[in-house]
Amino acid sequence: MTTENVFSAVLTLSLMAGGAVAFGTELGQTRAPATAAVTMPTVTVVGHRATPTDVAVETESVEQRVQ
């Protein structure tokens, strides 16, 4: 086995072991259920949607802008 293969195997097994420990730790914790109710403030929309006919029209040609 080359050094790269050994390093790859050790790295893979270490990541798998770390993931298993993190997963087990998360499962082992007990948490209190969330009981607080959150209400969002009322939002009032003031703006108006543009109509489909409101389109910008290009009045200059490409040659005029390049100069």
d(CA 64, CA 47): 36
d(CA 25, CA 22): 5
Torsion of CA 10, 15, 17, 21, to 10 degrees: 160
* Tokens describing residue 46: 């003031």
Q: Is pTM beyond 0.75 here?
A: no
Mean pLDDT estimate for the chain: 80
Residue 51's pLDDT is 65
Average pLDDT over residues 13-41: 87
d(CA 24, CA 17): 11
Greater model confidence, 54 or 19: 19
- Tokens 């097994």 — which residue? 13
